[in-house]
Structure 1
Amino acid sequence: MTAVLVAYAGKTGGTREIAEVIAEVLRDHGLSVRVLDAAEVTAVQEYAAVVLGSALYFHRWRPEAVRLLERNAEALAGRPVWLFHSGPCGPGAGTARVSLPARVALLAARIDAERTETFGGRLDPAKARGVVARLVASGQRAGDFRDWDRIRAWASDIGRRVRIRVPL
């Protein structure tokens, strides 16, 4: 079996849940998958492919996801890498396309990552921290805007592509 790393970075568990669903779909494709918080990843050499996701907070990736890319850029350049971010909330969140932050875009280009996917996020007013977050969470942006069918379809495409690109 081919080992795939699915790493995630987030604050309240929404991005972790996306990573777990991606891993489940990849396993359905016969792949061996490990799911880790990006802060726990020390190296990527043992993985044939990597999927990395970050929650978006005010158009920024979580620092632990950026550090994973920076520390492992050379090794990531030698394997297929897919990136995703979650975070748009409110009406239209499911169809929103959000560009990578500039620093992450440069790293993605350096490692020749596949096109980044944007998924709607989850904003729970009970978990919102800080004045701005509480104000945003109190309005129309509160709720769960993750499209699980779209996430599963994207993961299934990755599963097919890993099986084609990486010898089992």
Structure 2
Amino acid sequence: MNQPTKNNKNIEQINYDIRAWEVLIIMDDGSRIGPLGRNEAIRFAEEKGLDLLLVSAVSNPPVAKLVDFGKYKYEQKKKEKENKKNQHITENKEMRLRTGIGDHDLEFKAKKVREFLIEGNRVKISLKFRGREVARPEFGKETLDKFFSYIEDIAKVEKEPQLNGLFLDMYVGPKK
């Protein structure tokens, strides 16, 4: 049976899956036929060669619509596909640094982060401390500031640098 559950509310109730004893019937064009008993409404739908689809179960009486269910499902999938096509999915990328990183390495990694930002992705810049380096997080902050100076023309800081264990993490995103 196609009964909606707590986990899956997207299952439609059609024909004999409808539990209400009486339903208000609406045609495709929006005209109302009136409240009928469930079995009578299903018989009416079958005479027309259509299915009875429950639209609103919370109203009194529940509202059902006469539709061609196969066509209805096809159009729903088509709309869903169109909506997915128009979405832009932002990925989270990560770049790892160290406190004693050289200038050339920093520039090279900044170039790669620049590519990520141009693609529209969000980037997590993680600076890893080793050993006693974690006692002096200001050196890590300086390195992150220097790194950000290479990309500040196309990036904005979404989350300020924050110490998480042995990592100093900062999130940057593309400027609009």
TM-score of the pair, normalised by structure 2: 0.31
Q: Quick check: which has more Rg, 1 or 2?
A: 2
Query: Would you tell me which structure has more helix in proportion to its own residues?
Result: 1
TM-score of the pair, normalised by structure 1: 0.32
Q: Relative contact order, CA 8 A, sep 6+: which one is greater?
A: 1
